[in-house]
Chain A
């Protein structure tokens, strides 16, 4: 407590538990200011209709100056969405989670961006080199240097 992140996250916690929480987003677990789990679904006619996913956010004490580590949860209950920017271990290649991060972004803003990333998907497939990436991937997706070479998906 007392860190920059705790005060900022306390405000975001309130927002996620209010009517301001974006549609299709639900805070599942936020026991501390280090790890949050958030349910996410994409509404409307998309390739992910009726599918439910969970996102894991990990914050360090410098959040929001430093970006959160965000990945899809992969366990007995949840799978990572089949998407050209999402590896089967849940890691996501999205510029706002890496070099495109800005401290004015927030947990709800990231969730909404990922919702629209899923909503605009035209073909359900894994990224190229998925197996190789997953085999050698670090635990923390922030340690991966992704190349953002596709703005269309």
Chain B
């Protein structure tokens, strides 16, 4: 039997590169993938203050390796109660420099 493909739709998916090993495999039962620990919305969603996911609601990485929506983390760090500590491990928050892969590797 021969199959002729007459038409096809390309569908793209994007994900933040959080450095988590096998992020694709890590979807869990809810299929939501990893969530921001502060708002509990998936990284690929946006923080509660934003309407559109993507470049306008980016992630932020700490040197402690913890990742949050940037807006969520900044709201926390902006409070006196935070003592400028990471919500996960209470170490002093230091934003990590992210090396962006430009060669598409």
Contact = CB atoms under 8 A, between A and B. Distances in A.
Interface of A: 3-4, 7-8, 11-12, 64-67, 99, 101-104
Given A64-B38, A103-B38, A8 B79 contact: no
A101 B81 contact: yes
Nearest to B78: A65
17 contacts: A4-B39, A8-B39, A8-B40, A11-B40, A64-B38, A65-B75, A65-B79, A66-B79, A66-B81, A67-B81, A99-B81, A101-B81, A102-B88, A103-B72, A104-B38, A104-B87, A104-B88
A33 to B, nearest CB: 12
A11 B39 CA distance: 9
B76 interface: yes
Q: Is the interface of A mostly helix, strand, loop or mixed?
A: loop
Contacts, number: 36
A98 B72 CA distance: 20
A140 to B, nearest CB: 15
Contacts of A12: 40
Interface string B65-91: 000000010011001010000011010
Interface in B31-88: 37-41, 48-49, 72, 75-76, 79, 81, 87-88
Given A102-B90, A104-B87, A4 B81 contact: no
